[in-house]
Chains A and B, each alone.
Chain A
Amino acid sequence: MEASEIHEILRAEFDHAIGEELGSEQWPVVSVEGARIAEVSTFLRDREDLRFDCLSNLTGVDLADDNQIQVHYNVFSYQHRHQLTLCAGTVRLDPFLPTTCGVWPAANWLERECFDLLGVRFVGHPDLRRILMPEDWVGHPLRKDFVEPDEYHGISTRRESLLKL
């Protein structure tokens, strides 16, 4: 299905929760109101002529200048061979979004990664733990204001440049 058609269908169903159509014809991007991302996802998956049954990727971006964290959902339909990127924003101070684990099971680990690296809380996630960093790590490394700690369990994270020696 064409990108503009998908956008029209979403606009008709969710009205103002759907933002402007971004991206290109080949790589369509639709911004979605963060609080309604789970509803929109369920709709995209279940509607007969859309059938976005595969969440290929989920990433986050820290837009510190806009005081926002954006989470991007790349979804794909095996049946109709079309794809879409959903873009949901949330406030940077206390970022949270509804989980999409119930829609796409693949979201489980991807949301854990997003939580680990950016600190986005996915409300309703069955097992929201860190997945890459150690359990006792402090902070979220992909935040723009993240400061690397000087040491971790007595292991210094600093090393003199070998070129200076």
Chain B
Amino acid sequence: MSLINTLPESVVTTKVDDLLNWTRKSSVWYMLFGLACCGIEMMQTGGPRSDLDRFGMVPRATPRVSDLMIVSGTLTLKMALRTKLLYEQMPDPKYAVSMGSCANCGGLFQLAYSVCDGVDKVIPIDVYVPGCPPRPEALTEGLLKLQDKIQQERWLVKKPDAAEAVA
């Protein structure tokens, strides 16, 4: 017997994980972490023209209420330690996006004595956005990729094999 015709029209069936992930991915609050010129593009992305608000993304000024850290700009060694500290202050589950060439690999300044060539040496990165600096469209694309990643996560059943067995 199919459930579809017996339930009222306002009822939707889904997996709990999917529902959880759908709510989480639709309210990714990102911490403002502009380190250089990429920070300007990040502000543009959050501004009215590109408008990250339509994905439920709201800029936050503190790591303690943020889900996502967008590292945008040249990371110096001095800042690298602070970056790690800020990342550790974010509550789980947390994500990090590396925006622009400098954050990806040190970019133009990777040979400089003061530059940490790649933010992935300090914190784990979920999405890399290339560009110098990336346009708001590029960053938006990266954040959509992150949403896809969040949607794929499994919380109730950690092992994919176990999920198959239950089903």
Contact = CB atoms under 8 A, between A and B. Distances in A.
Instruction: Tell me whether chain B's interface is mostly helix, strand or loop, or mixed.
Output: loop
A93 interface: no
Nearest to A159: B117
Interface stretch (A12-20, A37-45, A148-156): A148-156
Interface string B3-30: 0000000000000000000000000000
A157 interface: yes
Contacts, number: 31
Nearest to B110: A159
A132 interface: yes
Interface stretch (B52-60, B74-82, B138-146): B74-82
A44 B106 CA distance: 44
B106 A141 contact: no
Contacts of A132: 114
A100 B28 CA distance: 52
A133 interface: yes
Interface in B56-78: 77-78
Contacts of A157: 77, 116-117
Contacts of B118: 159
A112 to B, nearest CB: 15
A141 B113 contact: yes
Question: Chain A interface mostly helix, strand, loop or mixed?
Answer: loop
Nearest to B116: A155
Contacts of A153: 77, 80-81
Contacts of A133: 78, 114
- B interface, how many residues as a size bin? 10 to 19
Interface in B78-94: 78, 80-81
A126 interface: no
A155 B113 contact: no
A146 B77 contact: no
B121 interface: yes
Interface string A121-165: 000000000001110000001000010100011011101001000
Given A159-B105, A159-B106, A159-B110, A134 B117 contact: no
B77 A152 contact: yes
A152 B118 CA distance: 14
B77 A162 contact: no
A137 to B, nearest CB: 8
Contacts of B43: none
B114 A155 contact: no
6 nearest A-B residue pairs (beta carbon) = A134-B78, A141-B113, A159-B117, A152-B77, A148-B113, A155-B121
Interface of A: 132-134, 141, 146, 148, 152-153, 155-157, 159, 162
